[in-house]
Amino acid sequence: MRPNDRREKIVDLVRERERVTVDFLAQELSTSCETIRRDLTELSARGHIRKFHGGATLPELSGANLEGSFQARMQEHLREKRAIARGAAALFSPGDTLFIDTGTTTVIFAEELARLSRLTVITNSIAIAQTMARSAGNGNRVFLIGGEYSDDAGENVGTLAIDQIARFHASHAVLTVGAVEPEGILDYDLAETEIASAMVAQSRAVTILADSSKLVRSALFQVCPLTDVDRLVVDRAPGGPIAEALQAAAVEVIVTPTADTVVKIA
């Protein structure tokens, strides 16, 4: 394959999957990792993709305006995220205590959850705290975890946040992720990974919200192994090695293909 054709194919794959790894591209295009890295350097210089350590992503998911980046991601897979959010909210009952981490899907989930009553929510997300606080008339309580403020997605992270999470014990942790892999639940950002891992450690049950694009991605940092996960709420049933790994780890998979349909896979 000629270099220009290969680079065009790389851009197509990045647009299709939003984030790809060097290893994936090398296998997909039957070339070496070194060649792929050179291609990514060239494409990044032209502004066609953004190169990160070990892979590439879309340029609009990065840039100086990181808050805008989060808002852009809010519009991606929006129909699927809303279906997941509605299906997930139906899993919880009055009296439940939930950790909720920061993510585009969990922001939408909070909008659905706010319709319920007598919940206690502990979150590091400003937007989620505000959404749940507006439903205080339903008897809901909100605890906003403090720490170092990150403008990326309006969240608090760092050692102070992790220390505060350790003071709570919740019935559930509801998390969004960068990728679901046979090895476990992963994310791209170390600070967000540390927050999610701390929430997992302080909860009795873990629910992962992930649109199906997360089933074909790879990420850098492990949040937890699949054996720590109780439920995965997704818009499309997983297949292949991921499905086998989920079954082996006894993870309940709940598929929400439409806003008003919830299907459980035994």
pLDDT in tens, 38-97: 999 888 876 678 888 888 887 644 333 333 355 555 556 788 899 999 999 999 999 999
Distance of alpha carbon 70 from alpha carbon 61, whole angstroms: 8
Rg (CA), the chain: 19
Q: What does the alpha-carbon distance between residue 111 and residue 124 come to, in Å, rounded to a whole number?
A: 16
Distances in whole angstroms, Cα of residue 7 to Cα of each of 20, 27, 28, 116: 13, 14, 12, 49
Distances in Å between the Cα of 197 and the Cα atoms of 29, 186, 209 are: 35, 10, 15
pLDDT of residue 97: 98
Please check the confidence at residue 120 and state whether its pLDDT lies above 90. Answer: yes
63 DSSP assignment: S
Domains of the chain with CATH codes? 3-62 (1.10.10.10), 73-265 (3.40.50.1360)
